[in-house]
Structure 1
């Protein structure tokens, strides 16, 4: 007797580096779910989604460069996805509609507050960058009720656009404008530190007891993480936990089961 597997996948270009198949396979084994999860290299995104659905696929994760295209393609968007301007999770309802969700922000907040016991409420939060990755996580960060949320970007107009989109619950700033201000939590939402670059950050941005979090992750400490250590952050974290937590939220949306993320995070760290 052969077991029937429900088919899920992550679509992106490039995709070979994706850890999603390993993560979801581990979740399925842990929770006793019969799923097959593949990494699909895609050129024509709309066509690929249509083909996947036609072949009985149950749900998709979407990664670079298709998150904005996924947002435009879906029939229904969650409130989180609507504000995020990007979709990283798709599932199909009984009528065959494409439902779009964004789990990145919830993954970030859970990693910080649950895995690491960080505090966001009533903290002064600085976010570096104003691109799609940052927009995608703002709604859950603001829902955690920081005392202040500042977005710094080389092009201040982009940060100002986000401030308007989120009803001015955010303060837009240049990097130069951060001087003489300090923060309890700094989140790097740029990919610059993976390319060996850093935004022009002044000394003294970290308040006493400040934490720093890089949404990117690599085998060794990113340039931003190295900067944070040199500046005296008491806790310096990368985005590996965020990756696993956002995947867990996708898995829950698809399967109605919440996996234990801790063993999977440990597996990826080893």
Structure 2
């Protein structure tokens, strides 16, 4: 019998992660054998935990909050999209023994936006946060040609550094990013707002733009069985088109699975129907 391919996800917290279920469904679809584990780490022991995982025969690992930026420092080499993001959500061991860092968040995010009919081209869009999750989706958002992106972070220097990184890397549209410290200081009507902070994880309100277009949409990169805290905020603000990050999670997972296992990209429609019924 063929041995199982060892995979997993590093995070803190990680007990809630749906990744083991999602990847097991992909394996079932493709008649493959995997062992996918949740791996709790701390910033202090994360590097040792990753090294031990690969020494013990691990093939690939996902990385979630709060380790995406730290993972970019651990990989022996980065793909172009991981280098642009400055953050890694997918680690894989290649034949040379090197660990490659990739970022499938942007690809997964864009695929889910398309599935839900959320348009970005020509829009005025607000991205809340500039940590690892924001880094993973920002260049993908820019590739969809928004008219303007407001990058919101309480620490302006962090957001400015992210913008400068994308400008230095000649990412198209990076010059259209406007950095602000608080979303409620934005005066113009906003077409879309994306939450890349952990506010829903901690059930706290986050300042929102003051004015939304009538057909505005909102997206929370976090996900939950029920409406996330941020989606409840959007509902109170009158935003009718809302989505959490479950679709993005499944789409980015499919991209990661394909990188590790080869072959065709798994069918995400099937997995979505099993996860959210």
TM-score normalised over the length of structure 1: 0.90
Alignment of 1:1-270 (within 5 A): 2-42=1-41, 44-113=45-114, 115-167=115-167, 168-175=175-182, 178-204=185-211, 206-256=212-262, 257-270=264-277
Q: Secondary structure at the match of 2:6?
A: strand
Structure 1 75/202 Cα, relative in aligned 2: closer, same or farther at 3 Å? Answer: closer
Contact 1:163–1:169 at 8 Å: present in 2 too?
A: no
- Number of paired residues? 267
Q: Secondary structure at the match of 1:37?
A: strand
Shift in Å at residue 198 of structure 1?
Answer: 2.0
Over aligned residues, Cα RMSD in angstroms? 2.0
Structure 1 57/211 Cα, relative in aligned 2: closer, same or farther at 3 Å? Answer: same
Moved over 3 A (4+): 176-179
Deviation sequence 1:10-65 (CA, Å, 0-9, x none):
12343222211111000010122222222223453333333332333211112233
Deviation sequence 1:150-177 (CA, Å, 0-9, x none):
1122233332222212213311123266
Deviation sequence 1:100-120 (CA, Å, 0-9, x none):
00111221111111x212212
Tell me the distance in 2 between the aligned counterparts of 1:12 and 1:175: 28
Unaligned runs of 5+ in 2: 168-174
Between 1:208-217 and 1:35-44, the stretch displaced more is: 35-44
Contact 1:175–1:199 at 8 Å: present in 2 too?
A: no
Tell me the distance in 2 between the aligned counterparts of 1:242 and 1:45: 25
TM-score normalised over the length of structure 2: 0.88
Structure 1 211/47 Cα, relative in aligned 2: closer, same or farther at 3 Å? Answer: same
Unaligned runs of 5+ in 1: none
Structure 1 42/186 Cα, relative in aligned 2: closer, same or farther at 3 Å? Answer: closer
Tell me the distance in 2 between the aligned counterparts of 1:73 and 1:174: 30
Between 1:173-182 and 1:241-250, the stretch displaced more is: 173-182
